């Protein structure tokens, strides 16, 4: 191609770029996005959220069906079991007034335990002659279904409100939080098979470690669904505390620690629990720290911190890192294999921080489903 042809081609392009048609190709999209960009973005985001709402609906329906099918396998299930389950899904708990925070913890503990006691009675009424293990499994399944039901309702409410008002900024927080909500919902859905079969959960690693340490001890109940055993280690007295297995319960460690501290006067408290790992961390990573390692609404942790402070007892913690899915579903091999390592670290911690003749309270925190007493 010679210089004349090149010049002619360049002039042709320059002529096209200045034509009315090319101007329209550039200007029309800009005008459309200027006036309708937010609405288009809202529609795209709404479609994505709508798909996740359908998925939440499916999770909720499937878990509820599995619960009802599990109940129907019991020959003595009551005729109105389905209606009772449906009614339970709409139960709610109103937290006490916190304008004056003084004394708020006992009020919260009273309300939460009243709900737990009532739930326990409702589960008992679903089927006659139900043993403690089956009752705890159904109670946990009911909590899973209730949680999925609530997640679905909240996400749907925020979505429909934003769509009704055609308000894109209102839907942005939901879009940002939805991946975390769906991760939690997926974990709850995957927990159902393990709960039905009575298999150990990832959250049960704390009780598993303490249960292993108290295998040859004489166990006694010190609080509701919470047992303790005593053992000797290197001229030190160990008080081993965990929820009563193999039922799906976390017991009442706050009450148990209060009782044991008053009776035994331990010189040190060690708490073992599962903890949520950060992205990038390996599952089963064992970490040591300080303070009461216990989740939940906070009432048990308050009790433990309060009694430890009043008696000037140091509280040490050992946690086993795992994802939220690993914590509430079947315990993985990576987590289970850490039991011996955690026990070794507990004993090393005791040797480093106590002297012969002193006593230590070791608390295994978590759900004891499938973990022997």
- pLDDT above 90 covers a percentage of the chain that reads 60
pTM of this prediction?
0.84
Domain boundaries, the chain: 44-197, 202-364
What is the rounded CA–CA span in Å between residue 365 and residue 227? Answer: 12
pLDDT one-digit tens code per residue, 216-261:
899 999 999 999 999 999 999 999 999 998 989 999 999 999 999 9
The pLDDT value given to residue 209: 95
pLDDT one-digit tens code per residue, 104-114:
999 999 999 99
Residue 38 pLDDT class (50, 70, 90 cuts): low
Mean pLDDT to the nearest integer, 61-86? 82
pLDDT one-digit tens code per residue, 145-188:
999 999 999 999 999 988 888 777 788 888 889 999 999 999 99
The pLDDT value given to residue 87: 87
The pLDDT value given to residue 80: 76
The pLDDT value given to residue 34: 67
The pLDDT value given to residue 10: 45
Lowest mean pLDDT among 17-31, 229-243, 291-305: 17-31
Q: Is residue 329 pLDDT above 80, yes or no?
A: yes
Residue 121 pLDDT class (50, 70, 90 cuts): confident
The pLDDT value given to residue 372: 79
Q: Is residue 81 pLDDT above 90, yes or no?
A: no
Is the domain 202-364 a CATH 1.10.357.140 member?
A: no
Q: Is residue 75 pLDDT above 60, yes or no?
A: no
Q: Is residue 63 pLDDT above 90, yes or no?
A: yes
């Amino acid at each position: 191609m010679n210089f004349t042809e090149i010049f002619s081609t360049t002039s042709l392009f320059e002529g096209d770029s200045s034509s009315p048609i090319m101007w329209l190709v550039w200007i029309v999209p800009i005008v459309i996005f200027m006036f309708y960009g937010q609405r288009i973005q809202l529609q795209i985001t709404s479609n994505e959220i709508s798909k996740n709402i359908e998925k939440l609906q499916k999770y909720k329906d499937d878990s509820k069906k599995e619960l009802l099918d599990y109940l129907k396998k019991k020959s003595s299930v009551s005729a109105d079991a389905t209606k009772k389950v449906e009614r339970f899904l709409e139960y709610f708990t109103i937290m006490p007034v916190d304008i004056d925070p003084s004394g708020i913890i006992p009020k919260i503990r009273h309300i939460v335990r009243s709900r737990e006691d009532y739930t326990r009675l409702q589960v008992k009424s679903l089927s006659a002659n139900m043993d403690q293990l089956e009752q705890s499994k159904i109670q946990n399944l009911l909590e899973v279904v209730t949680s999925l039901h609530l997640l679905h309702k909240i996400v749907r409410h925020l979505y429909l409100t934003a769509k009704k008002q055609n308000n894109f900024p209102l839907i942005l927080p939901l879009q940002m939080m939805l991946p975390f909500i769906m991760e939690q919902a997926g974990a709850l859905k995957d927990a159902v098979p393990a709960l039905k079969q009575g298999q150990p959960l990832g959250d049960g690693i704390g009780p598993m470690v303490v249960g292993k340490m108290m295998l040859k001890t004489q166990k006694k109940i010190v609080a509701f669904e919470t047992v303790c055993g005593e053992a000797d280690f290197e001229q030190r007295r160990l008080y081993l505390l965990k929820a009563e297995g193999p039922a799906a319960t976390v017991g009442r460690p706050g009450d148990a620690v209060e009782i044991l501290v008053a009776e035994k006067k331990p010189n040190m408290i060690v708490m073992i629990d599962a903890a949520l790992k950060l992205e990038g961390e390996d599952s089963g990573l064992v970490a040591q720290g300080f303070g009461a390692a216990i989740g939940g609404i906070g009432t048990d942790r308050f009790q433990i911190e309060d009694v430890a402070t009043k008696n000037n007892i140091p509280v040490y913690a050992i946690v086993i890192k795992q994802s939220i899915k690993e914590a509430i579903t079947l315990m993985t091999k990576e987590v289970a294999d850490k039991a011996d390592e955690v026990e070794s670290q507990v004993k090393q911690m005791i040797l480093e921080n106590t002297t012969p003749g002193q006593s230590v309270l070791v608390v295994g925190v978590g759900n004891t489903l499938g973990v022997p007493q």
